[in-house]
Amino acid sequence: MASRPGRPRASGDPYGERDTRQDVLDAAAALFCTVGFTSTSTRSVAERAGVRQATIYHHFAGKDAILLELLLGTVRPSVELADALATATATDPADARLWALAHADVRLLTSGPLNLGALYVLPEVAGEQFAEFHAQRDRLRARYDELAAAVVPDGSGAEQGPLVLGLVESVILRRRDSDDLDAGAVADAVADGVLRLLGCDEQRIAAARTAAAALV
Amino acid sequence: MASRPGRPRASGDPYGERDTRQDVLDAAAALFCTVGFTSTSTRSVAERAGVRQATIYHHFAGKDAILLELLLGTVRPSVELADALATATATDPADARLWALAHADVRLLTSGPLNLGALYVLPEVAGEQFAEFHAQRDRLRARYDELAAAVVPDGSGAEQGPLVLGLVESVILRRRDSDDLDAGAVADAVADGVLRLLGCDEQRIAAARTAAAALV
DNA sequence: ATTATCTATAGATCTATAGATAATGC
DNA sequence: ATTATCTATAGATCTATAGATAATGC
């Protein structure tokens, strides 16, 4: 009955949607997001994944490696979109590109069954083991700063760049408190808020929103 | 030489600025803010406080009790100011009161040697042991929502309330990344940003800022 | 006598490794 | 033979408690 080599699971569970490696990632993501990293034992991850604790070490070097993979997988879509919006579409107005980026990021953060953004705010992530993630995050930050500066070219935009990213990522903490956010409505409100924060008037915001729709 | 009952510390250290209880709170705050709660052992707290691990339990029921006390002590000033601004000064314009509240909260979050706001975002704080803190936090949230709604009475303010608090608290994550923030400049930028987010024009923001100075 | 510390430790973890086992593949 | 799991466990924690000790207070 088993369709691949290796000893079958003691639990009798078949493999999940993907393979055991993915089952472990899914289980760890759910637990790290809610309970935290150090509070989550490898045993509890294994239990949720339907395997024994030691099995995890056949697929990952350790607990850190699991978190790193989750972090990179979560930040990657944001960085890729930010890169695309910063370069290929540089002829489009900056306000539309920033609206599109903020909107997409908030959708990513508010959609899906897990609050994956919560991984970013785990204190353990400050460790050097996660330098590769920090590099990606810095890259994303730089894109936001560039776009904010381009929207408000008088120089105050650069100062407001951190506020812009802060507003976007505030949905992480918001979702932790109330888990029934309307992803679409929140994404609209935040993307509008980003431009409002930068001093755009309502007319310009409406135009940026329309232009953003054509970008993605 | 010793000026109070009880066995002297083995470390030979005298008591800190206050007493041992305060030394433990200070040590725990520094570690919880940077390393996290579960990652911080009672032994490491004791070491930093200059006492043995078991001594902690003479002053606190357990690790949870330490964190709860830190959380309540950190949120208290914010709640007290929010209450004061919501009631006693209700004749003053809402935009000035909101500016003053946001400004004061950001100053609290960015000042002092520790990033105490980081305590709020620890995943362990979700536990029921910290219900008293959550009640205070809900109270603060409600004050922000009230003020945001009063600034924009057309009903869109209520929807923007969470964004406002999100913007204020985004300084917590910002400070974790770069620890050399200019507290005054950031507080001004955020308080301005809060009103900008709610659709106030620059003139109204300038007026609110002036009026806020008279409130505190 | 009271207080605040100490030393010592029980009991419960937790991570990672060693080596056995049960499948498929050749 | 290779693979992926399992069982079992070493070694290192960690929290909290028991009970001894060294001060002051009366």
pLDDT average per 10 residues of sequence, chain A (216 residues): 82 79 98 98 98 98 98 98 84 92 98 97 97 98 94 78 95 92 96 95 95 88
For tokens 């070219």, the residue is A153
pLDDT of residue A35: 98
pLDDT of residue A12: 80
pLDDT of residue A161: 84
pLDDT of residue A2: 59
Q: Hey, how many other C-beta atoms are within 10 angstroms of the C-beta on B98?
A: 27
C-alpha dihedral, A113 to A117 to A119 to A125, nearest 10°: 170
The DSSP annotation for B28-81 comes to: HHHHHHHT-STTS-HHHHHHHHTS-GGGHHHH-SSHHHHHHHHHHHHHHHHHHH
Question: Helices B156-177 and A156-177, interaxial angle, to 10°?
Answer: 110
Which DSSP symbol is given to B129? G
d(CA A130, CA A211) in angstroms, rounded, equals 36
Amino acid at B165: L
pLDDT tens-place string over residues B134-164 = 999 999 999 999 999 999 877 776 678 899 9
d(CA B177, CA B173) in angstroms, rounded, equals 7
Residues 47-76 of B, Cβ under 7 A from nucleic strand C? 51-55, 58-59
pLDDT of residue B160: 82
Query: The tokens of B194 are what?
Result: 């809060």
**Strand (E) or helix (H) holding A211:** helix A202-215
Q: Report yes or no: B187 and B110 within 8 Å, Cβ to Cβ.
A: yes
Q: Which residue of A has its CA nearest to B39?
A: A38
Using beta carbons and an 8 Å cutoff, which residues of A are at the interface with B? 34-39, 118, 121-124, 126, 159-160, 162-163, 166-167, 169-171, 173-174, 176, 189-190, 193, 196-197, 199, 202
Among A38, A138, A168, pick the best mutation site for testing chain B contact (most B Cβ within 10 A).
A38
Nucleotide nearest to A10 (CA to C1'): D6
d(CA A34, CA A176) in angstroms, rounded, equals 8
Q: Say if the Cβ atoms of A169 and B170 lie within 8 Å.
A: yes
pLDDT of residue B92: 82
pLDDT of residue A153: 78
Domains by residue range for chain B, with CATH? 20-69 (1.10.10.60), 73-212 (1.10.357)
Q: Which residue of B has its CA nearest to A119?
A: B123
Taking alpha carbons only, the member of B71, B66, B76 closest to residue B120 is: B71
Q: Which residues of A touch B171 (CB under 8 A)?
A: 166
Q: Report yes or no: A43 and A53 within 8 Å, Cβ to Cβ.
A: yes
Taking alpha carbons only, the member of B70, B82, B85 closest to residue B37 is: B70
d(CA A10, CA A138) in angstroms, rounded, equals 43
pLDDT of residue B41: 98
Q: Which residues contact A102 (CB under 8 A, 6 or more apart)?
A: A164, A167, A168, A187, A190, A191, A194
Amino acid at B130: F
Between A and B, how many residue pairs show a Cβ–Cβ distance under 8 A? 83
The answer to whether B35 CB is within 7 Å of strand D is: no
The DSSP annotation for B77-106 comes to: HHHHHHHHHHTTTTTS-HHHHHHHHHHHHH
For tokens 């043995």, the residue is B52
Q: Hey, how many other C-beta atoms are within 10 angstroms of the C-beta on A64?
A: 14
* Partner-chain residue, chosen from B118, B124, B196, that has the shortest CB–CB distance to A197: B196
3-state class (DSSP) for residue A115: coil
Spell out, as residue ranges, where chain B has pLDDT lower than 70.
1-2, 17-18, 88, 90, 157-158
Rg (CA), chain A: 20
d(CA B34, CA B8) in angstroms, rounded, equals 30
C-alpha dihedral, A22 to A23 to A29 to A31, nearest 10°: -160
**B174 to each of A32, A162, B115, B181, how far by Cα in Å?**
22, 8, 10, 9
d(CA B199, CA B205) in angstroms, rounded, equals 10
